[in-house]
Structure 1
C-alpha cells in the first residue's frame, strides 16, 4: 500500500482520500509558476491542496489563495492539509464546480493542473476518472473561465500533456490569452517531452521556451530539477 501522506520541508500532504496523489506534475507547477507581487491567487482543481500550499510557501506574506475543488472528499482532505500547515489563514478551500464559480475580484495569478487523458479509455474508479479526464472540465471551459477571472496584468500557468500544447494555445488565443513562458519537461536523457508547463497572459509577446530534464537516471535528479524543487523536497 502506498504511503497515505507525502512529507515536504514545511508541510505535509495527506492524499489517501484523493483520487490523484501527490505527483511530479503538481510539484513542477507549484515550483515553476510565477507568483511575484501576487495578492490574489486561484488554484483550479486543487485536489490535495498541494499546489496551493507550495504557492503559499513562496508568495507574499499577505497573499490570499482560493483552492477550488469539485470533489467533496478531495476538498475535505485539502482543508485538513491546509489546517495543518503554517498558512491556514491565507488559503481558503472552496468546494465548487469551476464552470459555476464566480468572484467579485479578479486574480493576479491563476494556476491549474487540470484533468487530462482527453481521448483515453475511462478509468473504472469514478472519482479517479473525474480527476484524470477532462469530460467535466474541457480546455475550452477552463480558458473561458480564466479569461473571466484573471486580472488584466495577471498570469495563468497550467501543466498539460505536450501533445495538446498547440491545441491549448489555440483555444487560449481565442480567449485573448497568449503563451509567454513554456517549459518542456523531459524525464530521462534522450527522451521527448511528455509534460509542458505554460504561462499565459493577456499581453501578446514572444514566448520564451525552455527544457527541463528531471532525472539523469532512476532517482538521480538533475541539477536543474533540484534547484527548482529544493525549497520543497526533504532530500533535495
Structure 2
C-alpha cells in the first residue's frame, strides 16, 4: 500500500494525547508510526482485518525506531476485544460506501466499507473510548454530514473539523474531524495542499507535514 496524502494529513493534524491509542485499519502502519514519532509517551494498538496489511504493518514497525510503542493485531474492529480503553481512536477508513465490489481480491477488503459500516464503527468507538477520549478520522467531504449525524445519534460529538482543498481553485475534497463524548462548539479550520501550480505546496501544508517528508 502506497503512502497516501490522507494518511499523512490525519497523522500530522490530529491531537496526540499521552496514553493509549488505537489505529483502526492501519494499512501499512503509516499513521501509527507518525503518532509514535509525535508523542513518545503514547502506546499504540494497530489493527487491520486484511492479512496483507497486518503483515506489512508488522514489518514496517519492526524496522522502525518505534517498535516498543506499537503492537499490531490481525482483527476486525467489531471483533477486537482489548483490555483497555483509549485516549485516541484514529482511522483513515475505506471510502466506498455500498460501492460495486471489484472482482479483484487484492486490497478489496481494505477498499470497501462493507466490512465496517459507519454505524458499526461509531458504536465500537463509543464502547472503547475513554470519557475524555478523542476519535480522529479523515473522510471525503460528501460523507462528512452522514458520519456527523450518525455520531451525534450515538452521543459522539464533533469538536474540531478541517476542510482540505487540493488547491486554491478546487472545492474541499476531504475533511479531517475530531469527535468526543463531550458536546462543544466545533472548531473550524481550512487547509489547502497546493498552490495553483502542481507540486508547489502551500506554507500551511509544509508546516503541518514537514516532520514526515524528507523533501520539506
Question: Is TM (by shorter chain) over 0.5?
Answer: yes
Q: Provide the rounded CA distance (Å) in 2 between the counterparts of 1:120 and 1:192.
A: 23
Retained in 1: the 8 A contact 2:98–2:114? no
- Partner residue in 2 for 1:83: 62
Shift in Å, 1:125: 2.2
Mapping of 1:1-236 within 5 angstroms? Answer: 20-36=1-17, 38-59=18-39, 61-216=40-195, 217-236=197-216
Shift in Å, 1:120: 3.3
Shift in Å, 1:102: 1.2
Shift in Å, 1:62: 3.2
Structure-1-length-normalised TM-score: 0.88
Unpaired segments of 5 or more residues in structure 1? Answer: 1-19
Q: Provide the rounded CA distance (Å) in 1 between the counterparts of 2:46 and 2:149.
A: 27
Q: Provide the rounded CA distance (Å) in 1 between the counterparts of 2:135 and 2:25.
A: 14
Shift in Å, 1:21: 2.0
Structure-2-length-normalised TM-score: 0.96
Q: Provide the rounded CA distance (Å) in 2 between the counterparts of 1:98 and 1:166.
A: 22
Q: Provide the rounded CA distance (Å) in 1 between the counterparts of 2:204 and 2:122.
A: 30
Q: Provide the rounded CA distance (Å) in 1 between the counterparts of 2:203 and 2:102.
A: 36
Shift in Å, 1:98: 0.7
Q: Provide the rounded CA distance (Å) in 1 between the counterparts of 2:79 and 2:99.
A: 26
